[in-house]
Amino acid sequence: MPLSMVNVGEPFTIKRIGGKEEVKRHLEELGFVVGGVVTVVSEINGSLIVNVKESRVAIGKDMASKIMV
């Protein structure tokens, strides 16, 4: 299921990251790696605030839909 569809506050393990190579690389630089744990903290105006690797990152729903958990 894509990260954009998960409930706020539940931790999930990243199973796969889709999209073009530059998108995958950008997400990896932000800490989104296969096997990593992510938790959606909140959703504001179509953007998700996500805890990943002990950091908070804001990503758009289009980007979150490429992260499968």
Distances (CA, A) of 54 to 9, 24, 62: 14, 20, 23
Q: What is the pLDDT of residues 52-62, one digit of tens each?
A: 998 999 999 99
- How much is the pTM? 0.89
Flag whether pLDDT at 12 surpasses 90. Answer: yes
Average pLDDT over residues 8-23: 94
pLDDT of residue 46: 85
pLDDT of residue 60: 93
42 vs 12: CA distance, rounded Å: 15
Q: What is the pLDDT of residues 26-50, one digit of tens each?
A: 999 999 999 999 999 999 888 999 9
